[in-house]
Structure 1
Amino acid sequence: MYTASSIFLKTLADAGITHAFVNWGSDHPALLEDLERQRIQGDGSTKPEIVTCPNEMVALSAAQGYAQVTGKPAAVIVHVDVGTQAMAGAIHNVDRSRTPVLIYAGASPFSNEKEHKGSRNEWIMWLQDIPDQSAIVRQYMRFTAQINSGATTAQVVQRSLQIATSEPRGPVYLWARREVMEEEMPESHMELSSNFQKWPSIEPTALSPTASTRIGSALLAARAPLIITSFLGRNPHSVSGLVALSTLLAIPISVACPTAVNVPFSHPYNAGVSFLTPGTHTEHLATADVILVIDCDLPWIPGNNRPSDSARVFVLDSGNPLRTNVGLWHFAAELVCCADSELALGQILESIRKIDEQGSAVGEPILGGQSLKARGQLLAAQHQAMTQSLDDAENTYPDVTGPSAGPIAYITVPNVLGVLRRATRAHTPSHGLETLVLNEGISNHPKVWSHMRPEVPGSLLTSGGSSLGWALGAAVGAHIGGEVVGAEHGKGYELVVAIVGDGSFLFGVPSSAYWMARRYNTPFLTVVLNNGGWKIQSPKLSMLGVHPSGFGSQASGNKLSVGFGPDSPDFSQIAVAASAGWAWGKRVGVSADSGKEELESTIAEAIRIVVSEKRCAVVDCVLESI
């Protein structure tokens, strides 16, 4: 016997969705029944494969990590209104990161006297019946819909996936009453395979010829051009175009609040990263006369720093340049374009070369000229100085020999990250995609980006949003996604590293995340930047930003109620307990013996355990307390 649930699952599988991250409830009997039918009538497996997630926030974070790695949507199945709400901040993250995910939630039955199969038979079904379930998440979704009939189930799923995978990509939310998913369907509906060639994603859009010429002309004539980006590297094919444009015209690339590897660290015109706090904007912003903002969440904070009023600003975005899902978003610009970054960069490069050739005919070529060479040499020198400062910070350990007014710190964040980077690259000397780093360092976001020095597009990711608790679940999903990519292309991840801080370890529901890692054999290394609490921009840094010398400026984190003192949790042992002893963990930085040698040996041992023994490892790095 087939049901609407049979069609729902088959349509997901036909669409290429290989995994569903699931927390089951009373609204899912028909789905559970059909999955068992698949096992008995097939080879014992199911399509899609089910990943049980004891927490919905972790489930959606895992699905996000999977989709970020594969570029393909995963499915998430949750329980009525309460499961929908339990996805919590992960809903925000998949929206802001433009990650395609299909979320399905059941709903309380609409009948209560056995009028239909699946009618209400549990008391909670009255409590969980709310007037508009999808309203809980609608403003974060690209599309929401109710499945009303088994006969139209495939069409609803196809439409939702078409929207989810079109720019601006993102999550979609489907829901259905229990009776609908129990509806019996003829075998003919199952035999009609879903034709997803008839439901394609929207093709990437290019710049108009006028726009590409206008932007190319401005960059070619600029005295001090600047490129700012945040997430261009989500399309790895765009990175080569960005580097080519930067190299051709000696343009510095400033990465503002990055969420992907947009430019290799070693690129000599890489001007570094900024999270736009006062005094950290790129020094090129104030002097730039032409600025290309491309695939960027936020190029600058006007109240902290801004370009000259005379600067020519061009804004390019692949799907939502006006940020219609943000309440207030405006930057004065000469031109705003909705265009795919890969296509747009190719057009701009072509326009620049064509314009320069025309100038060469009258003796005025710019490409290859002395002014560009001089600018490139200056930028390369600045990049070298930046690299040297990072080296110095990594190799300078705290002086613990003299008197100290407060708790002694034996290691610093640059110490930890320098050791971690060298250890991972020793493991993967080609700097390839054998290692994936997930950055949820929060107040140390910029340091992770800078000191890990990523080279390969896709090798370092963030949540793309601001809700903490993404990294642990994402590590599980990314490991599974890496296996899928490896099966398709012969190369996956040998090592997944989650760098967490400012409470994001606890927000990640480690009791669920490490149970999942053990259950599905997805080992990863967790490095905890343990500063004793939340030193995120909110609350303590936000308070200091408004009250830099106020009453709270000298108060400890614990006194301000943003710390975990007097005794911080032993994060590594939480992972050990959650995995029933399978995970390995160690705390470093707690004594005079916890300097460089112990840090290096511990990180090396942790990597060995993950790669060779296929177990999770957690290194809890105790830093200066907030």
Structure 2
Amino acid sequence: MRTREPFDAPADAAMETPVGQPGPAAFGSDVVAETLRALDIPYIALNPGASFRGFHDSLVNHLGNRQPQMLLCLHEEHAVAIAQGYAKVTGRAMAVAVHSNVGLFHATMAIFNAWCDRMPVLVIGATGPVDAEKRRPWIDWIHTARDQGAIVRSYVKWDDQPASPGAAREALVRGKWIAETHPAGPVYINLDAGMQEAPLDAPLPPLDLQRLAPRIDHPPGAEEVDRLAALLRGAKQPVILVGRVSRSEQGWAERIALAEATGARVLTDLKLGAGFPTDHPLSLAPPGVFPLPEARAALEQADVVLSLDWIALNGALPARPAGVVVHVSLDHILHNGWSMDHQALAPVDRLIAADPDALVSALCRALGAVPRAVAAAAVPAPGPRPAGGAGPLVVPDLAFHLRAALAGRPVSLLHLPLSWDGAFWPFRHPLDFVGSDGGGGIGGGPGISVGAALALRGSGRLPVSICGDGDFLMGVTALWTAVHYRIPLLLVVANNRSFFNDEVHQERVARMRGRPVENKWIGQRMADPEIDLAGMARAQGAEGFGPVTTREQLVEAYARAIAVVEAGGVAVVDVRVEPGYTPAMAGALTRETKAEEGKR
């Protein structure tokens, strides 16, 4: 997996500097801590637990809480989400520590998100002591599992339970190597509490990391590149589907060069980070969770479709594509019999098992396409003000005024709600948007945003997250970590006081069964009492604004919140919007409903 260097300076931990001087490694957990430093892991997010108390002590008293620095989290799900967000910007694995089986259970949703998002995360757990004679009564027994890795084995790339310091060191090296190798994903390493706390018999020999974890590239074959280049040269109506690609500026520039050299129309996906400028003349349609009608029409007419690891390719293509379909992906390596995230089989004429970035780079060379340098574009001012007048706020109002308030600044969008329309905001740089949660796990947005904001520290970009109210409520305590470690972040809540996506589903079921759609809100609406979201933000130490109910309040709240973030703080703006989806999303859901009814 191609990576980029993180921008962040070390998080402010002056209040967490340990006393005393680190000494030589004396315990098993000291070896584990030293290995993380050798692997150049800057942070380890954790919620404390006795099962890794030895490891915790080593991070503090052996390493001095530096490289990696601990990031205290209020929930294990937030810890993993922060690591996922960090990886979405850098492509690099951050470490996470979770407490035995109980902490791992808490973390499972976030691990699944990282798995579906194909993001590298190094999750470190603990158990035991494995030797039953060393267990304390009751608590050590309920925190010990025969096969703890089985809890997550179906949605991690690899797991291990090393029994000695030397084996633990090797497991960490192998785990990070596997996690970051394309296609990336989380790994889990379970440490025996007894091994952590046992004194070392003798110092371990030094590691040669470069030889133990060699870089693995996945370039396409020269013959495949030549055949594909010839196919694109002869194409009259080619379409490129930009799916899972890196945040690399080089990759971004090469995708533009490829499209311009071939005249290919390009479609991007709002489930993923920015992969192509959405206001480029060759951009086929604004990115969405589902392809828009104009994109579907172009795919039906395309004589060549080049898929760069597109998610759910079967759902984007016509049932019987008229043109040649070439799919560039390594994702089949991860497909297993437990998770169905591999999606349905798609009608593909040629599969090229290669890194999509490497394939595009090779095609540019074959076609003589010369990439241009990529500039860090600032947010452009919005177009005409959305209709609405003095009526209740809607998501287009939220987006329009936020874009107007941020115009002229380099901004990274770290999370977007389902109600977002890709036409609201142009993406002109690979860090303009870092993608969704991956697994549809509500509650991941705040933690992922904190991790991405951490990675963006020092970049000059203002980190902005837009979350639904349900997502915010399940993840709000992740903001405490951002405040505590001085990680600037602006989080806007699109607060429709409902789990609205499920209202849509209830309406769909009611229509299919001939029952009253007026009842769709029951068991969905969060009212009576109204929840003070700004107050919940203030409880974490952030600045809270709202509830905002008018356009005049929105302009003022945005200005004040942006000033907080530019001064290094965390700000949350609670925007009360009417339930509903944009026309693009609503149309996609209507088509989905008709397709579902047609299968019955």
Indicate the residue corresponding to 1:24 in structure 2: 48
For residues 223 and 509 of structure 2, what CA distance do their matches in structure 1 show?
44
For residues 231 and 361 of structure 2, what CA distance do their matches in structure 1 show?
16
Tell me if 1:464 matches 2:431: no
For residues 256 and 545 of structure 2, what CA distance do their matches in structure 1 show?
40
Indicate the residue corresponding to 1:608 in structure 2: 563
Contact 1:233 1:458 in 2 (8 A): no
Indicate the residue corresponding to 2:376 in structure 1: none
Task: Give the superposition deviation at 1:548.
Answer: 4.7
Indicate the residue corresponding to 2:482 in structure 1: 517
The 3 A distance-change label for structure 1 pair 277 and 553 is farther
Counterpart secondary structure, 2:35: helix
Task: Give the superposition deviation at 1:183.
Answer: 2.2
Task: Give the superposition deviation at 1:169.
Answer: 1.0
Letter in 2 for 1:306: P
Task: Give the superposition deviation at 1:249.
Answer: 2.0
Indicate the residue corresponding to 2:499 in structure 1: 534
For residues 70 and 233 of structure 1, what CA distance do their matches in structure 2 show?
9
Indicate the residue corresponding to 1:414 in structure 2: 396
| Paired residues for 1:491-506 under 5 Å | 492-501=459-468, 503-506=470-473
The 3 A distance-change label for structure 1 pair 277 and 269 is closer
1:472-527 per-residue CA deviation (whole Å, 9 max, x = no partner) reads 112322232233xx4xxxxx24521110015111121x1x2122122211231111
Contact 1:143 1:173 in 2 (8 A): yes
The 3 A distance-change label for structure 1 pair 70 and 310 is closer
Counterpart secondary structure, 1:528: strand
**Which residue among 159, 164, 174 is the counterpart of 2:189?**
174
Contact 1:229 1:258 in 2 (8 A): no
Indicate the residue corresponding to 1:621 in structure 2: 575
Q: TM-score, normalised by structure 1?
A: 0.81
1:285-330 per-residue CA deviation (whole Å, 9 max, x = no partner) reads 221121111121123527xx72643321000025547845646531
1:360-380 per-residue CA deviation (whole Å, 9 max, x = no partner) reads xxxxxxxxxxxxxxxxxxxxx
Counterpart secondary structure, 2:188: strand
Please report the RMSD computed on the Cα atoms of aligned residues, expressed in angstroms.
Answer: 2.6
For residues 566 and 293 of structure 1, what CA distance do their matches in structure 2 show?
48
Contact 1:479 1:493 in 2 (8 A): no
Contact 1:588 1:622 in 2 (8 A): yes
For residues 233 and 80 of structure 1, what CA distance do their matches in structure 2 show?
33
Letter in 2 for 1:438: L
Task: Give the superposition deviation at 1:456.
Answer: 1.1
Indicate the residue corresponding to 1:238 in structure 2: 251
| Paired residues for 1:364-375 under 5 Å | none
Contact 1:557 1:563 in 2 (8 A): no
Which stretch shifts more, 176-185 or 192-201?
Answer: 192-201
For residues 154 and 320 of structure 1, what CA distance do their matches in structure 2 show?
29
Tell me if 1:558 matches 2:521: yes
| Paired residues for 1:181-200 under 5 Å | 181-186=196-201, 188-189=203-204, 192-200=205-213
Counterpart secondary structure, 1:605: helix
Contact 1:3 1:185 in 2 (8 A): yes
Indicate the residue corresponding to 1:588 in structure 2: 548
Task: Give the superposition deviation at 1:130.
Answer: 2.6
Tell me if 1:334 matches 2:349: yes
For residues 541 and 94 of structure 1, what CA distance do their matches in structure 2 show?
27
The 3 A distance-change label for structure 1 pair 8 and 499 is same
| Paired residues for 1:128-139 under 5 Å | 128-139=143-154
Contact 1:525 1:610 in 2 (8 A): yes
1:574-593 per-residue CA deviation (whole Å, 9 max, x = no partner) reads 111232xx42322212xxxx
The 3 A distance-change label for structure 1 pair 545 and 572 is same
**Which residue among 274, 280, 288 is the counterpart of 2:302?**
288
The 3 A distance-change label for structure 1 pair 337 and 248 is same
Counterpart secondary structure, 1:465: coil
The 3 A distance-change label for structure 1 pair 210 and 533 is same
| Paired residues for 1:373-392 under 5 Å | 391-392=383-384
Q: TM-score, normalised by structure 2?
A: 0.84
For residues 160 and 151 of structure 2, what CA distance do their matches in structure 1 show?
13
Letter in 2 for 1:455: R
Indicate the residue corresponding to 1:11 in structure 2: 35
Letter in 2 for 1:7: V
Contact 1:14 1:193 in 2 (8 A): no
Q: How many residues align?
A: 542
Task: Give the superposition deviation at 1:38.
Answer: 2.4
Task: Give the superposition deviation at 1:556.
Answer: 5.2
Contact 1:81 1:128 in 2 (8 A): yes
Tell me if 1:437 matches 2:413: yes
Contact 2:496 2:579 in 1 (8 A): yes
For residues 6 and 218 of structure 1, what CA distance do their matches in structure 2 show?
56
Counterpart secondary structure, 1:438: strand
**Which residue among 306, 309, 324 is the counterpart of 2:318?**
306
State which structure, 1 or 2, has the greater radius of gyration over its C-alpha atoms: 1
For residues 248 and 331 of structure 2, what CA distance do their matches in structure 1 show?
13
The 3 A distance-change label for structure 1 pair 213 and 169 is same
Contact 2:506 2:517 in 1 (8 A): no
